[in-house]
Amino acid sequence: MAENKENKLSEEEQVEITVEKKLVALYTLQQIDSKIDRIRIQRGELPEEVQDLEDELAGLETRIANYDEEIKKYTTDITNFKIKIKETQAKIKKYQEQLDNVRNSREYDSLQKETEYESLEIQLCEKKIHECTFKMEDVKRNLADTQVKIEERKAFLEVKRSELNSLIEETEKEEQTLMVKSAESESLIEDRLLMAYKRIRKGARNGLAVVKIERDACGGCFRRIPPQHQLDIRIHKKIIVCEYCGRILVDNDIIDQYNSLHEN
């Protein structure tokens, strides 16, 4: 009977140690991931700024290409109108020559109408040339402004890229080391628990999935933890989550174990 009781206690102790190890592993993973977060926060919005500038430049380059096409179109249209004017002038000259040899008034009136019609065609072509020239000059101004803007954005992009590259160089080695440690810590945590950790972390605004109790409250949402839950957290019989925010809760004992394992 005493032997059975001793075995039972041994099993309970084993459960307690197992839960403690899980909690220490989770807290360790959280500390590593938080350090990675801080490195990425340190980079701030630089990666997004660089991407936005690259996207803006791509849009401006497309705009330049469109302006070039418009200018080519207007140039072609102006050339065609000028050709038509020359052809029309040749027709008018021909009609005028024919006027000297007309045989009756009906033929004379007909040639006069043709001449007037072709004269109107010339006026219309000249108007179109003027419109195309005006529009083309406007496009050229826009093109010049866009080219200036591109040069300005390119210079600004180079500055931002340089800032980002310098920051990455400063933190890349540390981040890679932490990423390896994060993967090592993940390998010590069972899949179901790891998935829960990642799900909670993804939903948390500050990336904290594992938090300690601070002044009888959750270290994540700062809601008060009922005394019974605090007791359950301290005895390490099972993993307890905050009933308000869903974060995994740990006590000072778990943090002390983490600190003792990572003392330098």
Of 215, 222, 203, 213, which is closest to residue 249 (Cα–Cα)? Answer: 213
Of 256, 184, 245, which is closest to residue 20 (Cα–Cα)? Answer: 256
Specify the higher pLDDT residue, 260 or 171: 260
The residue-averaged pLDDT of 227-236 equals 88
Cα angle 204, 205, 211; round to 5: 55
Find out if CATH 2.60.40 is the number for domain 47-172.
Answer: no
CB distance 247 to 209 below 8 Å: yes
% of residues, the chain, pLDDT over 70: 93
pLDDT band at 53; cut points 50, 70, 90: very high
Alpha-carbon separation of residue 9 from 5, 14, 16, 19, 158 (angstroms): 6, 8, 10, 15, 66
The residue-averaged pLDDT of 135-163 equals 93
3-state secondary structure of 249: strand
Per mean pLDDT, which range of 7-11, 35-39, 45-49, 199-203 is the poorest?
7-11
pLDDT band at 79; cut points 50, 70, 90: very high
Enclosing H/E stretch for 250? strand 248-250
Alpha-carbon separation of residue 170 from 40, 46, 48, 163, 182 (angstroms): 12, 14, 19, 11, 20
Residue 173 CB contacts under 8 Å (≥ 6 apart), including other chains: none
The residue-averaged pLDDT of 113-137 equals 93
Per mean pLDDT, which range of 7-16, 176-185, 226-235 is the poorest?
7-16
**Farthest CA pair distance, the chain:** 143
pLDDT band at 82; cut points 50, 70, 90: very high
Per mean pLDDT, which range of 9-13, 147-151, 215-219 is the poorest?
9-13
The residue-averaged pLDDT of 212-233 equals 90
- The CA dihedral of 36, 41, 46, 51, to the nearest 10 degrees, is 60
Of 199, 235, 206, which is closest to residue 221 (Cα–Cα)? Answer: 206
pLDDT band at 264; cut points 50, 70, 90: low
Domain ranges of the chain: 2-42+190-261, 47-172
CB distance 143 to 65 below 8 Å: no
